[in-house]
Structure 1
Amino acid sequence: MHFILVVLLALGALLNLFLGVSFFLDPATTGADFGLRSPDAQGLSSMRADFTAFFLVAALCEGWAAWKRRADILWPALALFVIAFTGRLVNLIVVGDYELWYGPMTVEALHIVVMVLAIKTFPGGRPIPADPA
């Protein structure tokens, strides 16, 4: 089970690394693949900064957790993907669906499932108890 989780985390890390670098180097093209249109420098700047940060932090957490087989490293990436999935779910409910809406949600849900399984399986998955003093 550990080996399978390590492989899945590493694959997720590679995907996120690719997306993060792609947003950093060419936010307009990568953003268009995400359905984003950026008409000005401010939009490109936001895409380059925010999307790069999201994906590179997720890649770092997943890759490091896979390498060290440590669950505690996954919490930041898990939070990113839970929030992203929740945002998409709210949008689906409030605005409605769009062509291929299930693709990004499936990828996010898979990241969440793999990370939760790794947190439950790898050492260090439980939060550190509060200091009793």
Structure 2
Amino acid sequence: MRLVLTGLIFAGGLMFLLIGIGFLIDPASSGVDFGMKADGPQGLSTMRADMTAFFVVAAVSMVLGAWRRNGDLLLVAAALFGIALTGRIVSLIADGTYDGFAFPMLVEAVTVIVLLIASRVLPHRIG
């Protein structure tokens, strides 16, 4: 079970790292995949900074947590994706649905569940 969880988290972390690097290099193209359109340099800067930060921090905590078998590090990414999922739920209630709304919610929910399970299964560092 540990090996499977570690592999899933490592693979997911690498995928999220590539997404984050995509936002750093070409935020306009990456934003289209997420339903975002930059409104000039300020929008590009915000997408480049915020989306890169979100995905790279999540990815690094996932990869390091899996590599070091450290369940505590996985809680960082679980919190990020949990908050993102909460925002999507609020938006679903406030704004309604759109084509393809369920897929990102499913990805975030599965990511949170896998990370929370792994955070309990993998050892915790004390001190």
TM-score relative to the length of structure 2:
0.96
Q: Percent identity?
A: 46
Deviations along 1:23-57, whole A, 9 cap, x unmatched?
00000000011000112100000000000000000
Q: Match of 1:62? A: 62
Deviations along 1:103-124, whole A, 9 cap, x unmatched?
1001101110110110110111
**Which of the two has higher C-alpha Rg?**
1
Q: How does 1:22-33 map to 2 (within 5 A)?
A: 22-33=22-33
Give the CA RMSD over aligned residues. Answer: 1.1
Q: Does 1:116 align with 2:109?
A: no
Q: Which amino acid aligns with 1:54?
A: F
Task: Supply the distance in 2 between the matched residues of 1:61 and 1:115 (Cα, whole angstroms).
Answer: 11
Secondary structure of the 1:43 match is helix
Q: Match of 1:80? A: 80
Quote the offset at 1:84 in angstroms: 0.1
More helix by share: 2
Runs of 4+ in 1 over 3 A off after TM superposition: none
Q: Match of 2:95? A: 95
Deviations along 1:72-117, whole A, 9 cap, x unmatched?
1112111100100000001001110000000100110111011011
Task: Supply the distance in 2 between the matched residues of 1:120 and 1:54 (Cα, whole angstroms).
Answer: 23
Q: Does 1:41 align with 2:53?
A: no
Q: Which amino acid aligns with 1:61?
A: S
Task: Supply the distance in 2 between the matched residues of 1:76 and 1:32 (Cα, whole angstroms).
Answer: 26
Q: Is the 8 A contact 2:75 2:116 kept in 1?
A: no
Task: Supply the distance in 2 between the matched residues of 1:124 and 1:69 (Cα, whole angstroms).
Answer: 8
Task: Supply the distance in 1 between the matched residues of 2:18 and 2:108 (Cα, whole angstroms).
Answer: 16
How many matched pairs?
126
Task: Supply the distance in 1 between the matched residues of 2:80 and 2:21 (Cα, whole angstroms).
Answer: 17
Q: How does 1:3-18 map to 2 (within 5 A)?
A: 3-18=3-18
